[in-house]
Amino acid sequence: MSLPESSNLLTSPADLESLASSTQILTSKPEELTAENVTTAAQIVDRLLRSPNATESVRVAAVATVSQLLSAPDDSEDNNATLSLTETLDQLSVNLTLSLNTSQSQVVQPNLVVQSAQIPAADTQGVQFTSLSGTSGSFVADRIELNTNTSTVVVENGFIADALIYVRFPPEAAGVRQKLSNVSLGFVLYQNDRFFRSRRYKRQRATIRVLSATVGGQERSVVPDHVEIMFRPRMVNGTSLYDFACVFWDYHVNDWSTDGCSKGNASDGLLRCFCNHTTNFAALWTFREKYEYAEALDWISIVGLSLSILCLLVTIVHQIFHISSDNQNVTIALLCICVSLLAFIITFVSGVQNSSRQNDAQVEVDATTNTIPDSDQRVEPDRGSCSAVAALLHFFLLATFMWSSVYSTLMALVFVTKQKGLPSHWSKLSHAVGWGGL
C-alpha cells in the first residue's frame, strides 16, 4: 500500500468515498499488513476523518479501517501517525452528532466503538458509557449502552460489563449548565493498546483496552469533577491477576501517566479507576503464572521418593552395623554416597513446594499506590529460600557423583591392582574430594 500523492487534493465527496473504500479493502487482511502499511493507512484515515467534506459513509469506512488496523501484527512503526489518529478519533467522537444534527450517534466495529451524544445540559447529573460482555471478544452494537442521566455507576442485574466509564458533572456548575442548551460528549473504546506504544510498560501477553472520554461544547467551564472507569481484564490461560495501575495517555510525553488518577479494589474481577479529568484511559495490569500440576504426578513423586528414602535408610543402617577394619574405607565411601543421595532427596522434597506459590490465595490489590509496572508479567523476587535449595541440590548431587568416583577408584586399587594397602593419606584425600573437591 502506498499513500496516493493526490490524497491532499481529494476534496469532493465522491473522491473521499473512493479513497475510504479502497483503503478499507486494502486493509481487510490485517494479518498481512506490514508496519509501513499500518502507518500509511493511519495517515490516510486521519486525513479522511479531518476532511470537512467527509460524509457519514466515509466516516464509517474510515472507522472500519481503524478497527482492522488494530488487528494488524504488533510490529514497530511510526508512533506519531497512530497517535495523531487517536486524537482525531477523540474529536470525531465529540463532534459527530453536531455534523449529523442528531442527539446520539454510534459507530461500532469489531475492534473499535465511537459514541457521540448531545445531552441537555440542565437535565443530567452524569453520563455512563458501558460495553457489556458478549459471547465473543468483538464489540457488538446491541451490547453498547449509553445512560445520559445517572448519579452513580449502574450495571443492570444479569449483565457483565467489560469496560465502563462514568462522567459526573459538579453540582456547583448547575447554574452554568442551565444557560447551555447541550453538552457534547464523545467516547472511543479500543480493543487493544496497539496505537498507544509505551516505553515504560512492556506488554507481552496481556490485552489492554483503552477507553477515552471527551467533553466538548461552547462553555469550557463545564468540566467533569469525577470520572470513574472500570475494566474487566481478559486473563491469559494459566495466570491470575497480581496488580494493576490506572493510567491515561499523556500526549506531551507520548506515554502512560498516573497524574490525577487513583485506583480502587479488584475483588470482583473489575479494575476500578478514578480520575479528575477526561482523556484516553487504561488499566495496566500484571499477572503471575499459576503452578498447577497433575495429581498423578504428585502421587508418583510421593511413592517413588518414599521408597527411595526407605531403601537408602536401610542401606545406611546395614552398612553401619557391618562395618569392619578390613572394609572400612569401602564402607565409608558407600555410606557417603547414600548419605549425599538421601540429603539430595530430602532437600528436593522440602523445597519442591516453592514458597512463591501464592496463587491459591486471593490477591489483595494495594489501592494506596498507583505505580506503573515495568511489565505485564509478575516475576516473584527470590526471598533466599529458592537459592538456598538450588545450591544444596547441586551440592549433594555433585557430592554423590564425586563419592561414586572415589568409590570406583577404591575398587580399582583394591581388586584390580591387588594393592594390599592404601596410602596413609587416603582417608583425608577421599573426604576432601568427596565433600569439598567440587
Per-residue pLDDT tens over the stretch 227-279? 999 999 888 787 888 889 999 999 999 999 999 999 988 877 889 999 988 88
State whether 174 and 206 are in the same domain. yes
Mean pLDDT of 47-69: 93
Let me know whether 72 and 196 are in one domain. no
DSSP-derived secondary structure for 372-398? --SBSB--PPP-SHHHHHHHHHHHHHH
The pLDDT, as a whole number, for residue 422 is 66
Where helices occur in 244-326 by DSSP H, the ranges are 295-321
Q: Note whether 104 and 147 are within 8 A (CB).
A: no
- 86 part of a folded domain: no
Whether residue 83 is contained in a domain is answered as no
In order, the DSSP letters of 80-95 are HHHHHHHHHHHHHHHH
Q: Which of 236, 259, 289 is the last residue of a domain?
A: 289
What is the reported pLDDT for 265? 81
Nearest to 290 by CA among 335, 330, 241: 241
| Region 16-26 average pLDDT | 93
Instruction: Judge whether 95 lies within some domain.
Output: no
148, 266: one domain? yes
Q: Which of 89-103, 259-273, 306-320 has the lowest mean pLDDT?
A: 89-103
**Residue 32 is assigned to a structural domain of this protein:** yes
Q: Note the pLDDT of residue 359.
A: 47
Q: What is the pLDDT of residues 139-196, one digit of tens each?
A: 999 999 999 888 888 877 667 889 999 998 877 555 555 555 678 889 999 999 999 9
Q: Identify whether residues 248 and 310 lie together within a single domain.
A: no
Task: For residues 138 and 276, state if they share a domain.
Answer: yes
Q: What is the mean pLDDT of residues 47-60?
A: 91
236 and 302 inside one domain: no
User: Do 373 and 284 touch, CB atoms closer than 8 A?
Assistant: yes
pLDDT tens digits, residue range 341-394? 999 998 888 877 654 454 444 556 777 789 999 998 887 766 677 788 888 889
| pLDDT for the residue numbered 386 | 79
- Does residue 331 form part of some domain? yes
The region, left, alpha or beta by phi > 0 then psi within -120 to 50, assigned to residue 300 is alpha
Q: For the domain that residue 235 is a member of, what is the CATH number?
A: 2.60.220.50
pTM above 0.85, yes or no: no
The residues with which 272 forms a beta bridge, in sequence order, are 230
pLDDT at 67 over 90: yes
Highest mean pLDDT among 25-39, 111-125, 376-390: 25-39
Per-residue model confidence (pLDDT) at position 2: 54
Helix (H) or strand (E) holding 284: strand 280-289
Model confidence at 3, pLDDT cuts 50, 70, 90, reads very low
Whether 284 and 299 map to the same domain: the answer is: no
Which of 77, 110, 130 is the last residue before a domain boundary?
77
Residue at 413 is within a domain: yes
Looking at residue 333, its pLDDT comes to 85
Q: Is residue 142 part of a domain?
A: yes
The pLDDT score that the predictor gives to residue 420 is: 60
Together in a domain, 35 and 115: no
Structural domain contains residue 124: yes
The reply to whether 311 and 406 lie within a common domain is yes
Residue-range definition of the domain harbouring residue 409 = 295-362+375-436
Q: Select from 217, 223, 121 the least CA-distant residue to 178.
A: 121
**Mean pLDDT across the chain, nearest whole number?**
83
Split into its structural domains, the chain has a count of 3
Q: Do 425 and 328 lie in a common domain?
A: yes
* Domain co-membership, 276 together with 317: no
pLDDT given for residue 222 in this prediction:
66
Domain boundary among 255, 270, 289: 289
How sure is the predictor about 6, in pLDDT bands with cuts at 50, 70 and 90?
very low
Q: 112 and 241 share a domain?
A: yes
